Amino acid sequence: MDKEQFQSLVYQFYRDNRRTFAWRDQITPYHVVVSEIMLQQTQTYRVAEKFDTFVRALPDFQTLAQAPWPLVLGLWKGLGYNRRARYLQEVARLVVADHAGVLPRNPATLEQMPGIGPATARSIATFAYNQPEIFIETNIRAVFIHHFFAQRTDVDDREIIPLVTQTLDRGNPREWYYALMDYGVMLKKQFKNPARRSAHHQKQSRFEGSFRQLRGKILQLLLAHARLPAYELYDMVNYRPDEVDRALAELCSQQLIQRTEDAYHL
């Protein structure tokens, strides 16, 4: 399959089956940053449920940068991986303080910001400014493995990147990546997820009873009670004290919570 055939196939599917999301319909650099950080390790339907509420309450970088942390965490509730909420607010503060409120276009600059790795930096630049950057995410990976590595397992992203580069619609990269991702979602439903044949595929660890769940419980309790002594937290989360100690120390070090004397608060 040559480049034109491949692009035609993907775009035809997209024209007939385009998904609608608020961050696609009302594109601003701020909306792109919020959605891209929300979408890290979180299903799209969950992000769709939270995105509108978040950007209505905090409509721009300036507002998010100045918002109280409990408000940000409360709006983030339900998305998991709460450290991303802190990263998102830190990004907003950097954009306001160092870039006069304007999101940088350069992926290398974006990559230096908290919680933004190489792929996210390039996806943000593409979706915010329609720049022809090269990146891979799980749905894009599924498309290329399905069409170009049908008989392979352990496909490395280094093998996929040249194909992403060759087939990129440089005239409209934003829409092309939307099309690729929507097509990839369909492929993952109709076939045994092609992305599982990636060398980078990792099965998500169990959440129930996990250390990640413990961290989330502590944050939700402090969101509800504002301030709690350590001994009350031990009783309320029902985990081993040594695990609670480790979670509290980690949350403090990441500046998600604070300790004052023997009590914790956001």
Q: Give the C-alpha separation, 144 to 158, whole Å.
A: 12
CA 64 – CA 213 distance, rounded (Å): 26
What values do phi and psi take at 265, rounded to 5?
Answer: -155, 165
Angstrom CA distances, 229 to 7, 152, 189, 225, stand at 59, 54, 47, 11
Q: Which residue(s) pair with 155 in the sheet?
A: 198
Catalytic residue among 4, 36, 208, 232: 36
What tokens were used for 18? Answer: 């385009």
- Closest to 95 (Cα-Cα) out of 71, 123, 114: 114
Is residue 133 annotated as a catalytic residue, yes or no?
no
| 255 Cβ neighbours under 8 A, 6+ residues apart | 86
Among 171, 172, 198, smallest CA distance to 184 is for 198
Is the four-CA dihedral 200, 121, 94, 46 of positive or negative sign?
negative
Which amino acid would we find at residue 72?
V
Q: Give the active site residues.
A: 36
